Amino acid sequence: MVNTRRGEVSLCLGAERYTLCLTLGALAELEDAFGVQDLNALAERFGTGRLSSRDLLTILSLGLRGGGHAISDREVANLALRDGIEPVADAIVALLVNTFGAQTTSASRGLPPNPQPPQNA
């Protein structure tokens, strides 16, 4: 079960259910990976709504490790996408919304600007 207060998101890949979370360490690695100086620049980068498959792979890898899964970038790259890329992209968008807020990451996906916290959280 994911902890939405921590920003966690659930993702099923094949028969396995994974938890994604962007920890402070993961955010620092994302700054390095995307060549930005701070979190504001990182949020602006994601706010464009344009992510390459390489971007998705980087975010997914760091999110999986932040969620407690000991998995390498190579292993993540080789995960089977039986349901296609859409569930992965949706989970990553949800992860970015949980981390940075809906204003910077959801415009291109039609998500509400201010998501309400779950009632049972």
What's the pLDDT tens digit per position in 50-89?
A: 888 899 999 999 999 999 999 999 999 998 888 889 999 9
Per-residue pLDDT at 120 exceeds 70: no
- Which pLDDT score is estimated for 77? 92
Q: What is the 3-state secondary structure (H, E, C) of the chain?
A: CCCHHHCCEEEEECCEEEEECCCHHHHHHHHHHHCCCCHHHHHHHHHCCCCCHHHHHHHHHHHHHHCCCCCCHHHHHCCCCCCCCHHHHHHHHHHHHHHHCHHHHCHHHCCCCCCCCCCCC
- Which pLDDT score is estimated for 103? 56
Q: What is the pTM of this model?
A: 0.79
What confidence category does residue 4 fall into, taking pLDDT thresholds of 50, 70 and 90?
confident
What confidence category does residue 116 fall into, taking pLDDT thresholds of 50, 70 and 90?
very low
Per-residue pLDDT at 105 exceeds 60: no
